[in-house]
Structure 1
Amino acid sequence: MPQHQLGDLVSDIITGTLSVSNDVIADIAGYAALSCYGVVGMDEQLQGADAVRLSANERMRKGVLVKSDEQGLRVDLHVVLENGVNMKSVCENLTSAVAFTLQEIAQIDPAQLTVGIHIEALKNRLS
């Protein structure tokens, strides 16, 4: 069996464009958001509802709204935070994590991305 050295490997570059649907972007952003400290869950946006409804992890995009226009991409996250956390710090971390994850996975230019955080409720993690 032949052995290859690192210098022997050739990397293939594929030219073209990458098109990512808004649903996929929402899933990626939701995943990144749920990975952040202080985020209990995503708030499912129900029309006319007064109560907050936490979405199951399988439906991360329910709390994420994605819009694109000529200025770029806007991702709005509707989150439920853990009671007692520093909201400003969590929101800064959340914005940074979502932007980084979208750049790494979907190759979205951070200069073309706006992330809006909407805190819908505070809850205890165990309740």
Structure 2
Amino acid sequence: MECKVKNEYGTIYIAEDVMLKVVGYAALECYGIVAMSGQRATDGIVEWLGRENLTKGVQIRNVGDMLDVDLYIIVEYGISISEVCKTIIETVRYKLESTTGVKVRKISISVEGIRI
């Protein structure tokens, strides 16, 4: 899936991998997040993913001309999960919209684990 951005100069096509990396790096910049997490649906085992595989903890879907973003994260123990998620939502929305020009409709966060 690639995203199209139209402006007065023409059409820009942005690869899905680029958008996934923008979201992943923006999320990892936020205080309180330890890692991205991928979940295998077949056995429910949660994998911890470092910076090299951070796109596996992110899913995006086109909804019309906007995006829905799903994040799977692991947070640090002792930090307010709701505040971490609020910060991630604000940061990811800003970075994705300012970097790619694509509007974000919704960001959903699934906290898959906590690191002690």
Into which bin does the TM-score normalised by the smaller protein fall? 0.7 to 0.9
**Counterpart Cα distance in 1 of 2:62 and 2:114:** 29
Does residue 100 of structure 2 align to residue 118 of structure 1?
Answer: no
After superposition, the CA RMSD in angstroms is 1.6
Structure 1 runs (4+) deviating above 3 angstroms are none
Q: What TM-score, normalized to structure 2? A: 0.85
1:63 partner letter: G
Residues 64, 77 of structure 1: 8 Å contact kept: yes
Correspondence 1:54-93 to 2 at 5 A: 54-70=48-64, 72-93=66-87
Does residue 17 of structure 2 align to residue 20 of structure 1?
Answer: no
- Structure with the higher strand share, 1 or 2: 2
User: Larger radius of gyration, structure 1 or 2?
Assistant: 1
Structure 1 residue 40 displacement after superposition: 0.3
Residues 99, 113 of structure 1: 8 Å contact kept: no
Percent pairwise identity = 29
Gaps of 5+ in 1: 1-13
Q: What TM-score, normalized to structure 1? A: 0.79
